[in-house]
Copies of this chain bind each other. A is one copy, B any other.
Amino acid sequence: MTIKLICLDADDTLWHNMRHFNAAEESLFTMLRPFAEADIARDRLARCEERNLKLYGYGAKGFTLSMIETALEVGGDRLPPQLIRDILHAGRQLLAHPVELLGDIQQTLESLAQRGRLALVTKGDLLHQESKLAASGLGDLFATIEIVSDKKAATFERLFERQGVRPEEAVMAGDSLRSDVLPALEAGAWAAFVPHDLQWSHEHAEEPVGHRRYKRLGSLADLPAWIDEIGLAA
């Protein structure tokens, strides 16, 4: 089977992301220490994010709003306005931090581009993802950029149709089982899980061990070899 379309996640697959969200969270828990233990604040924030997901969607702006809501919840009427100012500042830093590519990404993408068309499939704030892609210098390597509100099987089905490939001619690689691997498999494509040290609990899902079209890779640099393997299979 020949792979024609190679789909890649962006955050924590091409460049660092979670470390910035984690740093913002940690600074929130430090700010809230006069009002609550870090574990309690962490739990409140996770619930708040989950509750707001349907309305805010993914991304740094909704996350900043959830940090503010959590601070109000934890601090009550004693919360000093300066603390909200500091959260807004942390949110702006999340949106403005420099893009740091994961190791060997440029080289890996060039190697992948020799094997098929590249598609970037990412969720989050539209402008923020566009800005990070522009700052990464990787934009020209991609045949198409898909910034989506969520990644479901239908997201991948539509992409394959627009790109004129059958699902079994496409592969998706990313650091989330829930958002990258499972929906791509459900859409009939191949899927590579490239775990990142930092993982958002929301993205957790059961690993589809033993699935014919699934592979866990140690690094994105191993993807070209797997694509070659798929090409050799009947």
Interface residues of chain A, those whose CB is within 8 Å of chain B, are 55-58, 61-62, 64-65, 68-69, 72, 75-82, 84-85, 88, 91-92, 95-96, 125-128, 130, 147-150
Interface SS, A side: helix
Query: Which residue in B56, B75, B85, B96 is a CB contact (below 8 Å) of A61?
Result: B56
Q: Which residue of B lies closest to A69 (CB)?
A: B88
A68, B56: Cβ atoms closer than 8 Å: no
* Complex alpha-carbon distance, A127 and B126, angstroms: 10
A72, B85: Cβ atoms closer than 8 Å: yes
Given the known A-B contacts A57-B126, A88-B69, are A81 and B79 also in contact in the complex, defined by CB atoms under 8 Å? yes
When A and B form their complex, which 10 residue pairs have the shortest distance between CB atoms, in order from nearest? A57-B127, A127-B149, A61-B61, A79-B81, A126-B149, A126-B126, A55-B95, A77-B81, A72-B85, A130-B149
Q: Which residues of B contact A62 (CB under 8 A)?
A: 61
Interface centre among A65, A84, A91, A127 (most CB of B within 10 A): A127
Q: Which residues of B contact A92 (CB under 8 A)?
A: 55
A80, B77: Cβ atoms closer than 8 Å: yes
* Complex alpha-carbon distance, A126 and B58, angstroms: 10
* Complex alpha-carbon distance, A75 and B77, angstroms: 15
Q: Which residues of B contact A69 (CB under 8 A)?
A: 88
Query: Which residue in B56, B65, B78, B81 is a CB contact (below 8 Å) of A75?
Result: B81
* Complex alpha-carbon distance, A184 and B85, angstroms: 39
A-B contact pairs, 13 of them (CB 8 A): A56-B95, A56-B127, A61-B61, A65-B88, A72-B81, A72-B88, A76-B81, A77-B80, A84-B84, A125-B126, A126-B148, A126-B149, A130-B149
